[in-house]
Every structure is written in structure tokens, then in C-alpha cells.
Amino acid sequence: MMARILFALVLVFLISVTAYVFLGAEFAGQAENQILTSVSLKKTYVNGRYDISGIVSMPTDCHDLSVDTEEVSSKEFELVFKSAEDKSRVCVDEVSARAIHASVIAPRDTVFTASMNGIEIELELYE
């Protein structure tokens, strides 16, 4: 009886370690690419053009940030944020602000979404 309990505990331990090694690395890779999970930006609409701007916080001053717009459909655009860390520099883990701006010529009822390094993030636009 004690041998069966010991066997079950060892088996559970081995399964846990295996799951951590394989799945933990996958989740860590996703977390590394996921610098932003949400962003709040100001939007203005003048003469058929949206201007979207604001300040975005990055984990360090070594993280570069760019934003592009992609037309998903005639009434939907995506703000595509991309970031990469410059590993050739020594960086302090201190939040660093980045100013961003994007312009889109689109109808007034256009819907906007956002992604960071290919992963969808929450977007709040205020006027």
C-alpha cells in the first residue's frame, strides 16, 4: 500500500516537472513579448482624419516602441504596437514613458483595436 502511494506521488511530481519545463517556457516566452496589456490614448477627429496620441509606459528605457496602423476593413483599423529590448545596453528596471502618435483617414464611425507584438491588447480611446 505504501509503495503505491509513493509511486503515485513520484508520478505526480514527474508530470508536474515535465509540464513546467515544456509549458512554463511557452508561457514565459509569451510574457516576454507581452509588454503592454492595455493602453489608453486620446483620439480626435477632424476633416475625416483621426489623430491618436498619448504616452505609453515601457518597462525600461532600453525598450523601443513603434506604432503603425493597419486597415482591417473599411470601418476597422488596428493600432499595431511593436517593441523590442536593446540587449546591447545595460538598463535599469525603471518605467520609461514613450510618446506615440498615429493618424488615419477613415469614416467617423471607425472601430479601433490594438495589438502588441502580435498579441491583442485592450484599447481605450477617449476624446
Buried b (16+ CB within 10 A) or exposed e, 5-42: eeeeeeeeeeeeeeeeeeeeeeeeeeeeeebbeebebe
Distance CA 13, CA 7 (A): 10
Q: Please tell me what DSSP assigns to residue 37.
A: S
Claim: this prediction has a pTM higher than 0.75: no
Give how far the C-alpha of residue 20 lies from the chain's centroid of Cα atoms, to the nearest Å: 23
- pLDDT tens profile 6-19: 666 555 555 654 54
pLDDT tens readout for residues 55-105: 988 888 888 899 999 999 999 999 999 988 888 888 877 888 889 999 999
Q: Where are the domains of the chain?
A: 1-33, 37-126
Q: What residues does 114 pair with on adjacent strands?
A: 79, 121
Return the H-helix or E-strand segment holding 23. helix 2-33
